[in-house]
Amino acid sequence: MTGILPIALAESRKILQALLLSGKEYVCIMKLHGEAKKENVRKVLKEFEDIIYQRPPLRSSVKRRLRTRRIYYIDFLEMEGRNVLFKVGCEGGTYIRKLCYHIGEVLGCSAHMQELRRTRAGPFTEDGKLVTLHDVAYWFMEWQQQKDEKILKKFVQPMEKALALVPKVYIRDSAVDAVCHGAALTAPGVLSLETGISSGSTVAVLTLKGEAVALAKAVASTEEILKMEHGAVAETKRVLMPRGTYPKCWKSG
């Protein structure tokens, strides 16, 4: 497998849970074990654009329990002999090799995944600011010699970039340090928020400057939060900003 692999450093590793279940896109070469017509392959691929059942393969890092995953789209690209090239956009945690197996079963000729390339992981795409490990090694040596932070910016991005697709709640400066100490976010501390937030969903709590404060679980929808004057709107799950970054404006019990 080749393609995009987000790597988090130091405290930014806390945001990986937000990336694990984010949408992914792959370009795959599927090898058919028998003959199949191109028209049939196109048709069967489209039949998988829905919520599908999957059981993780034997070689996997999770329990082999039956689960559902959504396939947002499958685009047939080309076919040469028994090799089928297609692009698939899917929910995080989808096993493409299992998808190929099931496609082969429906076609009646069996199939397996030959090659796979990840072209998108959450907000990160191949059109974005990507680097190779060789680039990282070269620029890191340059930074060791020059100690110029501009060199680091060539291959290290702010962790807020990984939260681009997570619904956001912007809070007052006076509420920042309380959230950094694990307190729930209450309605008076909210200044603005994005649409699409539902109760139970993960939200990113940010300062007015766009700095990531925490990942939280919303306890109300966008519409409900806008009407609230008191009470908790989100439960802090993962603090991203070090304590004391903003001044303490709250009273301890």
Question: Domains in the chain, ordered, with CATH?
Answer: 2-125 (3.30.2350.10), 131-158 (no CATH), 166-239 (2.30.130.10)
Q: What is the mean pLDDT of the chain?
A: 92
Q: What is the mean pLDDT of residues 21-40?
A: 94
Torsion sign across C-alpha atoms 238, 55, 23, 220: negative
How confident is residue 127, by pLDDT bands cut at 50, 70 and 90?
confident
What SS3 class is residue 214? strand
Identify whether the C-beta of residue 199 lies closer than 8 Å to the C-beta of residue 218: yes
Residues 6+ apart with CB under 8 A from 171: 179, 185, 189, 190, 191, 205, 206, 207, 208, 213
Q: What is the mean pLDDT of residues 89-97?
A: 93
Q: What is the mean pLDDT of residues 40-65?
A: 89
Taking the C-alpha atoms of residue 174 and residue 180, their distance in angstroms, rounded to an integer, is 11
pLDDT surpassing 60 at residue 253: no
Strand partners, 197: none
The structure's pTM equals: 0.84
Identity of residue 205: V
Identify whether the C-beta of residue 5 lies closer than 8 Å to the C-beta of residue 126: no
What SS3 class is residue 89? strand
